[in-house]
Structures are given as structure tokens and as C-alpha cells.
Structure 1
């Protein structure tokens, strides 16, 4: 979703996959892997330095979300994160970047 690319895109041939493409971009080059529409929207909201993910909280949040996506899409099902753990991680990210919101307890 965040890349705007399909896993069947022609660029993902000969060993390169969407997952590997995104993984290689983390964390310093996440802007390069992000859908240009999302980057443009971020620019119009007043963040001129979108390439510096260390100083941009929105890009730090994006990195965290993409890392969860990579964990969910691991090739081996045994390496994939459990959905209840995903929910906990998502709440943690939300609380870190938007601390005014309360996270509801995740029920399994």
C-alpha cells in the first residue's frame, strides 16, 4: 500500500521482489520506496526535508509500519508475526507518534 507498486510489477523480476525492494530501502531510503503521491502530500503539508527520516516523525512512523509489513510478509509462515502481536505493535506506534490517543486492549 505504501509503495503504490504491485508485486507483479515488471521491475520485480530476476530475484527482486516488492518485499526485497522495500526491505533494501529501510530506513534511510524509505522515501524512494514510498508512493510519490504520499510523498507529495507530505510536502504540501509543510515538511520540506522528507528525505531525512531521522528527523521526520512521519517518516519514522512510516518506517515502523513498513517494518511490520515486512514481518507479516516473510516468505516462511513460521517467520511471520501473529496478528495479535501486529495489533499491539500498531498500538505502540500510534501511542509513540500520536500520544493523545488511547490504545484499546487487544483481545485474542
Structure 2
């Protein structure tokens, strides 16, 4: 049996289409922008928000112009407990009166992670957090958690 390899013709263009799930791909890809690290940052931000809220960007509540980014942005930081996955909130410390403390380290870390997710998922690529700053901020959050 013979095998044959066909190399691409150098005179033909070979374009790779952007594939992904609605809600995770950067908005600029819908306008024909090239694949970029800015788009990856957007997707990472949406993934962070999904992990923190237990909501998918395609959930039914995100209709009529509301999306996961805006949902998280509008809640942070005052109403963070309303949007965070309840399983994550079971770790939040309580103050002496038994009420949730807005200043406890775990609560502050949840707020910080959601802020990173929001900063990564800004609509405009120029407004998104740089990936090196994302790493720095997440390492800072990890240090706070490790101290407590």
C-alpha cells in the first residue's frame, strides 16, 4: 500500500477559522479580527467568572443584553455574595456576631478573582488586563490564601 503526502500549495492562502463556543470567544472575532493573545485573555476572563459564579455565559439569565461580564461587574464588590457560587461561600469566615465579614481574607480573594475576570473580559481588547498582570495578581491572591 502506498502513502502519499500532499503539501499545501504555496500560491494558495490557508486561513484558519476561529472556532469556539459563543460566550467564550472574544467579541472582536465576530468582526473578522485575527486570533490574538487578547482574545485568549478574554476567554480566560470568562472562564474565571464561570468558575467563581457557577454560571455559563450561555445560561438563560444572560439574555436581553446582559452577559456574564456585566453580571459580575455590576455585583462587585458590594454584592459579591449574591453572585459567587454558594459552594465557594461555605469557606467564608464569619465575624463574632455570626455575620459575614466583608473584610475576611477569603471574601477579599473572591472579590479580587472576580475583578480579574472582569478586567480580562472587557469588550475592547485595549481595555483588557495584560496577561502578565493577570499572573501577578493571581499569584498575589494565592499568597493571601496561603497565609490564612
Report the TM-score, using the length of structure 2 for normalisation: 0.57
**Residue ranges of structure 2 left out of the alignment (5+ in a row):** 1-50
State the match for 2:77 in structure 1.
Answer: 27
Correspondence 1:1-108 to 2 at 5 A: 1-39=51-89, 41-42=90-91, 47=94, 48-50=98-100, 52-53=101-102, 55-99=103-147
Q: Provide structure 1 residue ranges, at least 5 long, that are not aligned to the other structure.
A: 101-108
Please report how far the alpha carbon of residue 17 of structure 1 lies from its aligned counterpart in structure 2 after TM superposition.
0.9
Higher relative contact order (CA 8 A, sep 6+): 2
TM-score normalised by length of structure 1: 0.76
What does the per-residue CA deviation read over 1:35-58, in whole Å, with 9 as the maximum and x for residues that have no partner?
A: 12222x326xx63533x32x2211
Q: Distance in 1 between matches of 2:86 and 2:99?
A: 15
The answer to whether the 8 Å contact 2:105/2:144 transfers is no
Offset of residue 98 of structure 1:
3.3
CA distance in 2 between partners of 1:37 and 1:96 (Å): 20
**RMSD over aligned Cα, in angstroms?**
2.0
Moved segments of 4+, more than 2 Å: 46-50, 92-100
* Separation (CA, whole Å) in 2 of partners of 1:81 and 1:38: 24
- Structure having the higher Rg: 2
* Compared CA separation, residues 38 and 92, structure 1 to 2 (3 A): closer
